């Protein structure tokens, strides 16, 4: 764009947009000052997250960590707990790592140069531009999805915005549109327009301050732009989750596990879980629908959890789903023992949940479990193999149960009456599983010398777990958690939802011992 065109574009686009923004914009806490630390934290939080969601998190975060130094010096666990509910926890880790860089290399002052700000961990071109322009009023573009949409429509840009070359071109265009001395206000005006007027669907063209010369509006193509190649859908993973209830001295506690120091959701706490191979769900004809079928039979699954309604028994499920649950329970028990040395006895299905990452979708089936003799020590593997065998009884006990009290008819009546969901352990299926487990050796201390037994599912899924040496109690990275500690440990959102759902049912009398 030559100088003449730049001046015309600023006259027709930049100045009216800036005047519109100054006349009235949303009152957001990070806009009340030009504190670069506040702006930085807000921009990191706003990545992949709605403004309405971010506001309370931002306010609480600033109460806990009011300065760069406070954030840099805080324990990581405290930072992750403050971030809990926002998701994308690598953002919090990178933010704290960058705060330490600012403390150690910049005297605790957020850098005011492109080179300095770009050197910080987790700070990309958009975040750098936002901090430099809003906090320091430097003429740097801040191009996010809102800005790319606005400029693509106004200038009728037909390039794929997912391509790096297109982004670079839009950044160059945005830089040319910044009025002298108005970088911060202009960039915020662009973002505001995209967030409130020039929205992805059904843009509100009539109140738009720059509608007169908007090329996409004039061509009738506003809803077509911007062009973006469809992203690859997240890969689905089916997982079985163990919600293990403590007994004896651990009564009222739940078994939790800390994730490894590296990788996805590093060092966060979770309920023990394993990925289910397709074969675990694919055998048995219609049972290949597995856990997904179980979710459908219970009314579907959203981002929260789908629970078994009051009065329902496992027999209320379709036979295929019950068979899949039986295999999943056995695989869960065998794998936790083989990999972690945690011998647990799955008792019954509790609920389903879903969690979306950018590249993975977890479909979770949550099973109520109890610790088996040999938990965390010698005999754990043999105990788990017995659990794998006994869990298959869940399938047999569940098939054809619609005539039993609390079956499908009771489900419908309970749902029609609006009864609160209940998690009830006194079902026919769970009783038979418990009886079978006692016969298999769970009723007394497991024999350390016991044979590990046959491979689960005739060797199709996992090798028979090896007997593990005694670890003196809990396996590494495991602990018993009281409900009071739920407010202290950082959990990914999906496990937090599961735990809160279970706790609510427990407190309302929906969980029996």
Amino acid 28: pLDDT? 96
Phi, psi of 368 (to 5 degrees): -70, 130
Domain that holds residue 403: 238-468+495-507
Amino acid 220: pLDDT? 94
Domain shared by 100 and 77, yes or no: yes
What pLDDT digit, counting tens, does each position of 93-129 carry?
A: 999 999 999 999 999 999 999 999 999 999 999 999 9
The C-alpha atoms of residue 85 and residue 277 are separated, in whole angstroms, by 29
Q: Is residue 88 part of a domain?
A: yes
Amino acid 5: pLDDT? 63
Amino acid 271: pLDDT? 97
What pLDDT digit, counting tens, does each position of 296-341 carry?
A: 433 333 344 555 543 343 333 334 477 888 889 999 999 998 898 8
* Residue 415 three-state SS: helix
Q: Is residue 477 part of a domain?
A: no
171 touches 177 (CB < 8 A): no
Q: What is the DSSP string of 373-400?
A: TTTTSTTHHHHHHHHHHHHHHHHHHHTT
Amino acid 432: pLDDT? 31
CB proximity list for 217: less than 8 A, separation 6 or greater: 153, 205, 208, 211
Number of domains in the chain: 2
Domain shared by 85 and 25, yes or no: yes
The C-alpha atoms of residue 290 and residue 300 are separated, in whole angstroms, by 13
Q: Is residue 205 part of a domain?
A: yes
Mean pLDDT of 475-483: 93
List, as own/partner pairs, every contact residues 33-39 make where C-beta atoms lie below 8 angstroms and the sequence separation is at least 24, other chains included: 34/134, 34/135, 34/136, 34/184, 35/135, 36/110, 36/112, 36/131, 36/135, 36/136, 37/67, 37/68, 37/110, 38/62, 39/130, 39/131, 39/134, 39/135
Catalytic residue among 7, 43, 84, 223: 43
Which domain-ending residue is among 194, 224, 254?
A: 224
What pLDDT digit, counting tens, does each position of 249-298 carry?
A: 899 999 999 999 888 888 899 999 999 987 544 443 333 343 343 334 33
The token duo for 69 is 């130094």
Bridge-based pairing state of the strands 269-270 and 360-371: unpaired
Q: Is residue 484 part of a domain?
A: no
pLDDT: which is higher, 312 or 35: 35
Average pLDDT of the chain, as a whole number: 77
Amino acid 1: pLDDT? 53
- Give me the percent of the chain exceeding a pLDDT of 90: 56
43 is catalytic: yes
What pLDDT digit, counting tens, does each position of 350-375 carry?
A: 999 999 888 899 999 999 999 987 66
**Burial (0-12, 13-18, 19+ Cβ within 10 Å), 231:** exposed
Domain shared by 440 and 413, yes or no: yes
Q: How confident is the model at residue 232 (pLDDT cuts 50, 70, 90)?
A: confident
Domain shared by 315 and 182, yes or no: no
- Residue listed under structure tokens 């206000």: 185
The C-alpha atoms of residue 364 and residue 350 are separated, in whole angstroms, by 11
Amino acid 387: pLDDT? 53
Domain shared by 193 and 267, yes or no: no
Amino acid 6: pLDDT? 65
| Candidate from 25-39, 88-102, 373-387 with smallest mean pLDDT | 373-387
Amino acid 323: pLDDT? 81
Q: Is residue 482 part of a domain?
A: no
The C-alpha atoms of residue 481 and residue 147 are separated, in whole angstroms, by 45
Nearest residue to 472 (alpha-carbon basis) of 407, 334, 378, 348: 378
Domain shared by 219 and 243, yes or no: no
CB proximity list for 363: less than 8 A, separation 6 or greater: 236, 237, 238, 239, 291, 292, 295, 301, 352, 354
Task: State the SS3 of 281-337.
Answer: HHCCHHHHHHHHHHHHHCCCCCCCEEECCCCCCHHHCCHHHHHHHHHHHHHHHHHHH
The C-alpha atoms of residue 171 and residue 190 are separated, in whole angstroms, by 13
Which domain-ending residue is among 189, 224, 259?
A: 224
Amino acid 422: pLDDT? 34
| Candidate from 277-281, 427-431, 452-456, 490-494 with smallest mean pLDDT | 452-456
What pLDDT digit, counting tens, does each position of 119-173 carry?
A: 999 999 999 999 999 999 999 999 999 999 999 999 999 999 999 999 999 999 9
118 vs 36, 125, 129, CA distance in Å?
14, 7, 9
Say yes or no to pLDDT of 446 above 80: no
The token duo for 346 is 């799955």
Q: Is residue 481 part of a domain?
A: no
102 touches 141 (CB < 8 A): no
Q: Is residue 336 part of a domain?
A: yes
Distance of CA 231 to the CA centre of its chain: 19
Q: Residue 363: beta bridge partners?
A: 238, 354
| Candidate from 180-194, 273-287, 314-328, 444-458 with smallest mean pLDDT | 444-458
Domain shared by 184 and 260, yes or no: no
Amino acid 322: pLDDT? 78
Domain shared by 206 and 243, yes or no: no
The C-alpha atoms of residue 222 and residue 230 are separated, in whole angstroms, by 18
Domain shared by 384 and 463, yes or no: yes
> Edge to edge, what strands does the sheet with 305-307 contain?
273-275, 235-244, 360-371, 344-356, 305-307
Amino acid 400: pLDDT? 37
Domain shared by 404 and 317, yes or no: yes
Domain shared by 197 and 168, yes or no: yes
Amino acid 58: pLDDT? 98
| Candidate from 196-200, 376-380, 446-450 with smallest mean pLDDT | 446-450
> Edge to edge, what strands does the sheet with 269-270 contain?
269-270, 254-258, 478-481
Domain shared by 180 and 255, yes or no: no
Mean pLDDT of 52-71: 97
pTM of the full structure: 0.68
436 vs 433, 442, 465, CA distance in Å?
5, 9, 20
Q: Is residue 260 part of a domain?
A: yes
Say yes or no to pLDDT of 436 above 60: no
97 touches 117 (CB < 8 A): no
The C-alpha angle with vertex 183 and arms to 177 and 184, in degrees rounded to 5, equals 135
CATH number of the domain where residue 17 is located? 1.10.340.30
């Amino acid at each position: 764009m030559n100088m003449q065109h730049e001046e015309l574009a600023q006259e027709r686009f930049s100045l009216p947009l800036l005047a519109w923004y100054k006349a009235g914009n949303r009152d957001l806490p990070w806009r009340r000052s030009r504190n670069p630390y506040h702006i930085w934290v807000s921009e990191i939080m706003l990545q992949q997250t709605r403004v309405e969601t971010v506001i309370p998190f931002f306010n609480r975060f600033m109460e806990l960590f009011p300065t760069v130094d406070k954030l840099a010096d805080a324990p990581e666990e405290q930072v992750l707990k403050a971030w809990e509910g926002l998701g994308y926890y690598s953002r919090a880790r990178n933010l704290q790592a960058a705060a330490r860089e600012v403390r150690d290399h910049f005297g605790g002052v957020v850098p005011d140069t492109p080179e300095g700000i770009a050197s910080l961990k987790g700070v990309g071109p958009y975040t750098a531009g936002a901090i430099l322009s809003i906090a320091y009023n430097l003429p740097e573009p801040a191009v996010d999805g809102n800005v790319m949409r606005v400029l693509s429509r106004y200038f009728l840009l037909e390039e794929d915005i997912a391509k790096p070359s297109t982004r670079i071109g839009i950044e160059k265009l945005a830089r040319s549109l910044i009025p002298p001395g108005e970088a911060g206000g202009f960039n915020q005006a662009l973002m505001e327009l995209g967030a409130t007027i020039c929205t992805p669907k059904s843009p509100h063209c009539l109140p738009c301050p720059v509608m007169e010369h908007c090329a996409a509006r004039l061509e009738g193509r506003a809803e077509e732009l911007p062009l973006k190649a469809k992203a690859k859908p997240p890969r689905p993973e089916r997982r079985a989750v163990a919600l293990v209830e403590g007994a004896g001295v651990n009564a009222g506690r739940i078994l939790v596990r800390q994730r490894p120091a590296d990788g996805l959701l590093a060092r966060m706490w979770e309920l023990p879980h394993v990925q289910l191979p397709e074969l675990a769900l694919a055998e048995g004809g219609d049972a290949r629908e597995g856990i997904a079928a179980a979710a459908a039979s219970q009314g579907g699954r959203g981002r929260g959890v789908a629970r078994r309604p009051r009065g329902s028994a496992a027999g209320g499920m379709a036979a295929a789903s019950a068979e899949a649950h039986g295999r999943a329970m056995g695989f869960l028990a065998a794998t936790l023992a083989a990999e972690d040395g945690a011998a647990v006895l799955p008792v019954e299905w509790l609920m389903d949940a879903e969690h979306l990452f950018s590249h993975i979708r977890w479909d979770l089936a949550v099973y109520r479990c109890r610790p088996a003799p040999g938990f965390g020590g010698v005999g754990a593997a043999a105990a788990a193999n017995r659990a794998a065998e006994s869990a298959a009884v869940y399938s047999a006990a569940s098939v054809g149960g619609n005539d039993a009290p609390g079956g499908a008819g009771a489900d419908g009546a309970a749902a029609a009456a609006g009864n609160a969901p209940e998690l009830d352990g006194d079902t026919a299926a769970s009783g038979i599983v418990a009886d079978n487990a006692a016969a298999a050796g769970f009723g007394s201390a497991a024999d350390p010398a016991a044979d590990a037994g046959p491979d689960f599912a005739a060797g199709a899924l996992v090798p028979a777990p090896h007997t593990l040496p005694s670890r003196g109690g809990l396996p590494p990275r495991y602990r018993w958690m009281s409900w009071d500690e739920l407010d202290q440990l950082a959990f990914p959102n999906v496990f937090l939802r599961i735990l809160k759902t279970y706790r609510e049912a427990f407190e309302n009398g929906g969980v029996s011992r």
